[in-house]
Amino acid sequence: MWRWIANREFTERLRDGRLLWAGGLVLVLLFTALGVGWAHQREARAEQQAAQALDYRDWLAQDRRHPHDAAHQGMHAFKPEAPLAMVDAGINPYIGSTVWLQAHRQSEVKFKPAQDATGLQRFGNLSVGWILQVLGPLLVIVLGFNAFAGEREQGILRQTLSLGVSPLRLLAGKALALAASLAVLLVPAALVAA
């Protein structure tokens, strides 16, 4: 019985268009996030290489002096960005990416993007990880908001229960349909992210 209920619920979500609209929106956002992440990673890599070349040029241009004294000039060390940072930056915006190395001094990491971020940017940047973390729970609400309330308003819930369907089996069928709907949307998204 619960399989029949799940099949009916899943078919209803396909017919009313919620599943297709949600899937289309998720796909558009995922590809946009991948494009933004790729462009940001490419730009950050180019900036890092340019800064590293300038820093090295300054290091080589210093006057001839004792190596210990030369070490006091210092040099930047750049943390390479992981390829999966395109999908989710993780904690990198909060820990920074550049260390100033100088003799006899312990340096902190510099250039933390979160330090200069506005309140809106601290909410999160558009990334595949953010989409799955924030929009995943919203999809549960959008796809399952009328599982019981809609049938109760239409009077179908009483009729279904009067046919001898136990409330537990009805709940199991609706939960299975919601899980299948979410799997149809989020499994391809997770595969795109991986």
Lowest model confidence (mean pLDDT) among 54-63, 69-78, 108-117: 108-117
Number of structural domains (the chain) is 1
Half-sphere exposure for 192 (CA within 13 Å, toward CB): 20
Residues 8-53: tens digit of each pLDDT: 888 888 888 888 888 888 889 888 988 988 898 899 889 889 988 9
Model pTM? Answer: 0.69
- Domain range for 84: 2-193
pLDDT at 141: 85
Q: How far is CA 86 from CA 7, 51, 59, 96, 193, in A?
A: 37, 21, 32, 16, 9
Half-sphere exposure for 156 (CA within 13 Å, toward CB): 10
Q: Is the pLDDT of residue 191 over 80?
A: no
Residues 113-157: tens digit of each pLDDT: 666 666 666 666 788 888 888 888 888 888 888 878 878 888 888
Q: Which amino acid is at 111?
A: F
pLDDT at 50: 92
DSSP code for 72: T
Residue 139 zone, left/alpha/beta (φ > 0; ψ -120 to 50; rest): alpha
Average pLDDT of the chain to the nearest whole number = 81
The residue among 43 and 189 whose pLDDT is bigger is 43
